[in-house]
Amino acid sequence: MSMQLNETHDPALRSWVASANTADTDFPLQNLPFCLFRRAGRDEAYRGGVAIGDQIVDLGAIGNALDDAAPAARAAAALGALSSLNALMDAGPQAWSALRLALSRLLRGDATPRQELLVPQAEAEFAVPAQIGDYTDFYTSVHHATAVGKLFRPDNPLLPNYKWVPIGYHGRSSTIGVSGQQFARPRGQTRGPNDVEPSFGPCKRLDYEMEVGIFVGGGNAAGAPIAVAEAEQHVFGLCLLNDWSARDLQAWEYQPLGPFLSKNFATTISPWIVTLEALAPYRAAWTRDAADPQPLPYLDYPALRASGGFDVELEVLLQTAAMRRDGLAPTRVSLSNFRHSYWSVAQLLAHHTVNGCSLRAGDLLGSGTQSGPDASEAGSLLELSAGGKQPLTLPNGEQRVFLEDGDTIEMRGWARQPGRPRIGFGAVAGTVLPAR
């Protein structure tokens, strides 16, 4: 379903919403990502919306605007008008595709403008788009895993299982917030290399991780694994995800069971979920070095090598409190691409369920830090600063090895190809506050 092109992908399509037709918009007519929103400052319920240019199509107000659409589209729109997107996510790819087609036709330049269906994005506030029952974070960038491994195990950076099995850990859904999230610097136990005993206090090595979030659509029954060739039918869409990480807490606690307090204090996601159907023209080949182990049969499928990846550029920007005070824009610190991922989206779902684990609509998977092969493509400060040994110098002269109070991290993502519109993910931003 997600790999088939149809009339909604036509690069010549234009909308009666003028802002959707500009070259630099994240949200042209060919995108149509979902969110959960309400008008800011009003006592009204959150409901589903769809981005078009600088506007939101209010699925709660769409009413008879879809009278001529297929029944599946009208039913999907009604599910999207609810106070979370879980029911729409659970409806499955035929419903998602029907709604996308109906919205595309409703918003095209030759359709009758329906301004009453729109809410300006500038006047909206957003919520986490689904009730996230479970959150699993993976570790899919071999470049990130190798760079981090070298800091701790210079002679053997990758553990033996890395190239055989997608590695993940169970995260904390209760602290996932939407873009704009602010959180206090975490506190916990740390022990330095020369310390006899651990100490307790605020984290000193706070970091970000540039990731892609994967929202599960229809789930699977307990004991019934999702076949890898069918896994993308269970993916509602992708978002941007910042997995904030307390590196000093992590170094002390991670053996033998992996991350705990170093990861569960905050995770920030973008408000927009871009569907796999919107990304169909921007698929990328999935490659695996011939010298590396090839996927076991349960992780292999016919479309994997030709189009298992996604060509999505991923940008990280940093703005310090001083930059904000002086009116300076955030500065780019890295630029990478999701196509570098060592494991595909389909492989993550298949592996997650192969033991009989059930996923549910609204569950969230994190891709793990998406670093590329070049140093400038590192998706964390841990890599960019070589473990805190090489400070980054910002345009205003400030330096960073890890994040300081008042720092804001903003991440952006987009897919683009010659002759096609840019498909953007919007932004995910979060700010570090002083420890309580």
Residues labelled catalytic: 144
Flag whether 211 is marked binding: yes
Do 81 and 31 meet the contact criterion of CB atoms below 8 Å apart? no
Flag whether 175 is marked binding: no
Flag whether 377 is marked binding: no
Flag whether 153 is marked binding: yes
Flag whether 248 is marked binding: no
Flag whether 137 is marked binding: yes
Do 403 and 153 meet the contact criterion of CB atoms below 8 Å apart? no
Phi, psi of 421 (to 5 degrees): -70, 160
Flag whether 369 is marked binding: yes
Phi, psi of 406 (to 5 degrees): 90, -10
| CA distance linking residue 395 with residue 415, whole number of Å | 28
| CA distance linking residue 7 with residue 335, whole number of Å | 32
Which amino acids are annotated as binding site for Ca(2+), given as ranges?
137, 209, 211, 243
Which amino acids are annotated as binding site for Mg(2+), given as ranges?
243, 263, 267
Which amino acids are annotated as binding site for substrate, given as ranges?
139, 153, 250, 254, 369
